[in-house]
Structure 1
């Protein structure tokens, strides 16, 4: 029997403009009220297909100017024609976390994990963070009936946030956010943001981690979800881990295994070993519709000089659209 490790329960936070601070939202305290309200809605509304977009990015904690690069990466993500509904970030340092929470674009438009304290950032060089667009996610009961302008109608409701402790050489964990689709009170999907163990000598840890995460998607009360982030798939032994745990690799589902354009690691480097697809999106109970790699350098401004182009990270970003 695979155990899913210890759970550290957290909250999502939203920026309170009246008090100018991040305030945790008591998700579990409102659970009985939420369930009652949604049960009434689900009796009268028809289940609709919902489309969500996710961007996952390892933003590289160790290269120079991590805060400046993180701001530019965030700008690159948000300034597209349509910004994503979900953002998974890996290798977030305490300084980068502070800059994200102080960013006006984040404060205005996102629900954010780990905003009320930095407990998850203690005794580790970096951690993961998840951002949910307030255009698609809400804590308000009434807005479950709103959102006709949104594809499928209505907004998702986050139910709870937790971190799953994983067997790890580097104290890695999995950041989980449970979400309830509009008008469906008894259906829960799980968003899991991961940064699996690094380097060649930790394949046995990655194998255990993937087995645990697949089990987390199959826990009682969970109808499936998505595992995305830095899988650190750097060896041939990593290639079969998604299939072994009966999950769907979104890139393979949409582009096949032989497509050479899925590499996300080694920005600007032509790889011949086929081992560059470190970042992945794996899912269960969802359907992948689109997936693309976000390549290209970013411009770093320099006062009084021409901007310089640098890689934003040693990883490219991944953008994936899927339906529930």
Structure 2
């Protein structure tokens, strides 16, 4: 396992981008993509150009089911693991939603082959707008985030803010959607906060920047989720420090309840679980005119099917050939008048 980590670090370093067109800590606008059956390819859409929007507003959609999952980029067999993860999301979760609930999926630690697999998947093509087809908009040349937005949702904006305070090339990825009978703007943020317990600590300024955009007066409400790498004491109050609410805690979850709340460690390499235990790394924060209706974890026990690949992952030091070391988190929201919150 140690050699796998070292190899991954070398790969990230080798793929560092020499130059990037954006300025750190400032919004970098990007297109999103919808699949055209007529053209048999993905079509880029600029969400700020109303004439090119991919769908008409649908006021019948009143709720949003948000799924966030970190798919470990260091493990081998990324295609098998991502394919298994997507089938789990499709069959065990999104397919169970009612017609009034739209779905959005945040993925972290994606690599280029993950984007290619997502873009080729029939379910993804027919169900979602896909924000990224390649690594162009990532600070890192190796791994990053991608968001899948229900095709029935109108997208009003799409931009990344690449952190200046990051040693790991992380960013905050925002997508503005319209939701509810009044088609209010709800801002979505997908982020993979800085890893490890390093000095200086970068997660606090990263969350402060996220909160700044979440509380923008132009949006009705906002949701942020992802692998927040919450492993230190200050991580427990990053939400309240920034005027945000934690979905798990708001619905009665307890910080010290490892059995009900922790999302990392259960499926980590055995030596890492024995060394670090488990923790609630993955979270959902929200603010403004949205109400949280439900929260749960998902993805526990999902394994890749191929026998040879299963054996090789177990040989790396895992109890089972899991698709990733994280559990996912799901939260369901509805638009609410600010005065009622």
Q: TM-score normalized by structure 1?
A: 0.81
Gapped regions of structure 2 (runs ≥ 5): 1-23, 315-319, 336-341
Match of 1:210 among 203, 207, 210: 207
Match of 2:150 among 133, 136, 141: 133
Number of positions where the alignment pairs a residue of Structure 1 with one of Structure 2? 291
Aligned to 2:185: 188
Task: Provide the C-alpha distance between the structure 1 equivalents of 2:284 and 2:205, rounded to a whole number of angstroms.
Answer: 18
Aligned to 2:301: 297
Tell me, yes or no, if structure 1 residue 243 matches structure 2 residue 204. Answer: no
Tell me, yes or no, if structure 1 residue 109 matches structure 2 residue 127. Answer: yes
Aligned to 1:61: 73
What do residues 53-95 of structure 1 show as CA deviations (whole Å, max 9, x unaligned)?
0110000100121221011011001102426601000000001
Asked whether the equivalents of residues 232 and 278 of structure 1 are also in contact (C-alpha less than 8 Å), the reply is yes
Task: Provide the C-alpha distance between the structure 1 equivalents of 2:157 and 2:76, rounded to a whole number of angstroms.
Answer: 35
Tell me, yes or no, if structure 1 residue 72 matches structure 2 residue 84. Answer: yes
Q: 1:306/1:262 Cα in 2 relative to 1: closer, same or farther (>3 Å)?
A: closer
Task: Provide the C-alpha distance between the structure 2 equivalents of 1:216 and 1:70, rounded to a whole number of angstroms.
Answer: 30
Asked whether the equivalents of residues 88 and 193 of structure 1 are also in contact (C-alpha less than 8 Å), the reply is yes
| C-alpha deviation, 1:204, in angstroms | 2.3
What SS does the aligned partner of 1:28 have? coil
Q: 1:86/1:305 Cα in 2 relative to 1: closer, same or farther (>3 Å)?
A: closer
Task: Provide the C-alpha distance between the structure 2 equivalents of 1:51 and 1:66, rounded to a whole number of angstroms.
Answer: 32
Aligned to 1:266: 265
Tell me, yes or no, if structure 1 residue 13 matches structure 2 residue 30. Answer: no
**Relative to structure 2, which stretch is displaced further, 76-85 or 312-321?**
76-85
Q: CA RMSD in A?
A: 3.0
Aligned to 1:201: 198
Aligned to 2:326: 315
Aligned to 1:234: 231
Aligned to 2:108: 90
Task: Provide the C-alpha distance between the structure 2 equivalents of 1:94 and 1:130, rounded to a whole number of angstroms.
Answer: 14
Q: 1:65/1:50 Cα in 2 relative to 1: closer, same or farther (>3 Å)?
A: same
Gapped regions of structure 1 (runs ≥ 5): 42-46, 138-156
What do residues 199-254 of structure 1 show as CA deviations (whole Å, max 9, x unaligned)?
10056210001111111011231222100001000111211111111111000011
What SS does the aligned partner of 1:288 have? strand
Q: TM-score normalized by structure 2?
A: 0.77
Tell me, yes or no, if structure 1 residue 118 matches structure 2 residue 106. Answer: no
Q: 1:254/1:305 Cα in 2 relative to 1: closer, same or farther (>3 Å)?
A: closer
Q: 1:240/1:108 Cα in 2 relative to 1: closer, same or farther (>3 Å)?
A: same
Aligned to 1:151: none
What do residues 11-54 of structure 1 show as CA deviations (whole Å, max 9, x unaligned)?
121011111111012321217999xx98xx9xxxxx98921101
Q: 1:211/1:306 Cα in 2 relative to 1: closer, same or farther (>3 Å)?
A: closer
Q: 1:230/1:122 Cα in 2 relative to 1: closer, same or farther (>3 Å)?
A: closer
Task: Provide the C-alpha distance between the structure 2 equivalents of 1:82 and 1:317, rounded to a whole number of angstroms.
Answer: 17
Task: Provide the C-alpha distance between the structure 2 equivalents of 1:93 and 1:289, rounded to a whole number of angstroms.
Answer: 32
Asked whether the equivalents of residues 172 and 191 of structure 2 are also in contact (C-alpha less than 8 Å), the reply is yes
